[in-house]
Amino acid sequence: MTSALSRFAHVAFAPPRYLAMPTMGVDLSTSGVKGILIAPQPRGLELDCFADVRFSAPAFTDGDMSDRAAVVEALKKLSRKLGTRTVNIALPESKSYLFEARAPGVTKAELKLAIEQHIDEYVPLPPAETIFDFVPVTHDTEGTLVAGVGYARRIVEEMIEVCGEAGLTPRSLEGESFAAARALLPFGDRSTTLLVDIGKTTTKLTIVVSGIPRFATTIGIGGHALTLSVQKHFGVTEAEARRVKLAHGIVPGEGNEDYLAAMLSTTSAIRDEIARRLEEWQAHAVLSGGNEPVARAIIVGGNASVRGLAEYFEGSLRIPVSTGNVFTNFAPTDTWLPPLDYTQSLVYSTAVGLALREYAP
């Protein structure tokens, strides 16, 4: 992202890449921080190294930093593990406000001024307390349609301060949905795609059009509910329940009817919420003619590798559904071996997308 958020992160003063330290993509969550470093090679981009640092207790509550000292210490440890102090870092998705606006003008300066004058119509925050960024989508005789994102100034300032306390230099701050789209979709992709990130306690939905997030929401149910269903059914520990969940998934088998019913009671709740949002978009796309219907869905996150999940969603959503590949924009993996295995990689989409900022066209 550029404009207000980029300048706030001192991107305008970043040194040339050949003089700069490697830039790691850093994703912060309730449970810890994840980092990615990318290495350009003659055959294309490769994953150089990765690391994660877990919090001993949740450090974020509803997107707000509740244990600043723990976040600072985790970022310090991550920096030491990856050997760099320069970062592209994610801002919490739950604190972002995606918006669309039609503004007069063509240049970035003209559009920025027009949006600033009406920012309180797009972001439910006092204008003086709002930082926003945007990208042009289309231009016609009525002006330029832009897709933007706004944050409370305190969120941005706090993230920059935390980076400073950890001894890190931020090159950019970016919303999770923008970063994930960059990781999961080929550079230059023009499709309309639904990204489904199934985390531990939430499921994030993002509809991306030509690489730009145009709709985002969060469902208050995630993969941990599936784990609890398995745990209750078999009477096992949480760790064992996670292993059973990944091994058996939601694939029908002889004698597993009760287990499958327990799993589907939760999975169907997630599916129904996804279907409702998708139907709303598809209906609006047809009626307005302004957007293309969603053509496919990609699932990522710590629970995306549950067996049968993509097929289950595909049968209900009536669009192709696949599990994501965070190495889409890297060198072909038949020419190199990622140090991060496929199942692990599904929780690194945001961090990978942030690291890819340095190499995206």
* Entry field: residues in the chain: 361
Looking at the DSSP assignment, which residues form a beta bridge with residue 28? 33
User: Exposure of 296 by Cβ count < 10 A (0-12 exposed, 13-18 middle, 19+ buried)?
Assistant: middle
CA–CA gap between residue 28 and residue 40 (Å, rounded):
25
**Domain spans of the chain, in order of start:** 1-94+154-187+329-361, 188-325
Averages of pLDDT over runs of 10 residues in the chain (361 residues) are 40 43 91 96 96 95 93 98 96 93 93 96 96 92 92 96 97 94 96 95 94 92 90 88 87 84 90 95 82 95 92 94 97 94 95 95 85
Computed on alpha carbons and rounded to an integer, the radius of gyration of the chain in Å comes to 21
> Which residues contact residue 109 at a Cβ distance below 8 angstroms, ignoring those fewer than 6 apart?
none
Cβ count within 10 A of residue 111 = 23
Query: What are the helix and strand counts (H, E) for the chain?
Result: 12, 15
Write out the E strands in the chain.
Answer: 23-28, 32-41, 44-54, 60-61, 64-65, 86-91, 97-103, 130-140, 143-152, 169-175, 192-198, 203-209, 212-219, 296-300, 321-323
Q: Which two tokens stand for residue 196?
A: 């489904």
Q: Which residue has the tokens 């912060």?
A: 28
- The pLDDT, as a whole number, for residue 72 is 98
DSSP, collapsed to helix, strand or coil, labels residue 294 as coil
Written as one string, the DSSP assignment of 58-73 is --EETTEES-HHHHHH
Pick the CATH number of 1-94+154-187+329-361 from 3.60.21.10, 3.30.420.40, 3.40.1390.20, 3.40.50.2300: 3.30.420.40
Do domains 1-94+154-187+329-361 and 188-325 share one topology? The answer is yes
- The pLDDT, as a whole number, for residue 211 is 94
- The pLDDT, as a whole number, for residue 285 is 83
- The pLDDT, as a whole number, for residue 20 is 53
Of 104, 105, 86, 109, the residue nearest 4 (C-alpha)? 109
Domain 188-325 architecture:
2-Layer Sandwich (3.30)
